[in-house]
Amino acid sequence: MLGDACDLARFPQAFPTTSASTSDNCQDAADTNQVGNSVGDSSAGTPIDNSAVRVNRTLEVNELLCFLSNKLHNYSVSIVKKAALEFYLEGEISAAKQLLLQSVLDKALPIQQFARNRIGSNKNKSNLDDIINIWTIADEHSIIDKLPCFIVSVLLTYQESQC
């Protein structure tokens, strides 16, 4: 009787969200924008067909990697690091590093120095530095588009969703 979104919010265990294959879900917002010539082109308002550009990617739920993928090219690395270190817990940073390492494992990247376990009082900073270094190397080797699309899973309680 309720919508799919309400069912997902109320019964998240019935809908697995850890990893799924997709062909369209990881596209830029520009894929749905309208194009037109400002001089008065008759094709103004026709949708862009980017079907040749679409790549099959898996979805992986990881909030930190989603944050980094959206912010690293827009802000300085120091600002992104500071925000991530203040917001994310040790377990979240470690889990993000392990997921990223698994994602780039078969890509033949020179990341061995970043794969070791970190210990000590600066463990979070070191792990975050490793994540950013791995991400930078993947970007330099142009394989970012071959990595999974990192997303955030938002589950609302019944009161928040007002179904």
> Where in the chain are the domains?
4-13+56-161
At 115, the pLDDT band (50, 70, 90 cuts) reads confident
At 110, the pLDDT band (50, 70, 90 cuts) reads confident
Helices (H), 4-161: 4-10, 63-71, 77-87, 90-104, 123-140, 158-161
What letter does residue 158 receive in the DSSP assignment? H
Predicted pLDDT at 37:
40
pTM: 0.61
The pLDDT tens digits of the residues spanning 81-108 come to 999 999 999 999 999 999 988 888 877 7
Residue 16 has pLDDT above 50, yes or no: yes
* Distance, CA of 130 to CA of 126 (rounded, Å): 6
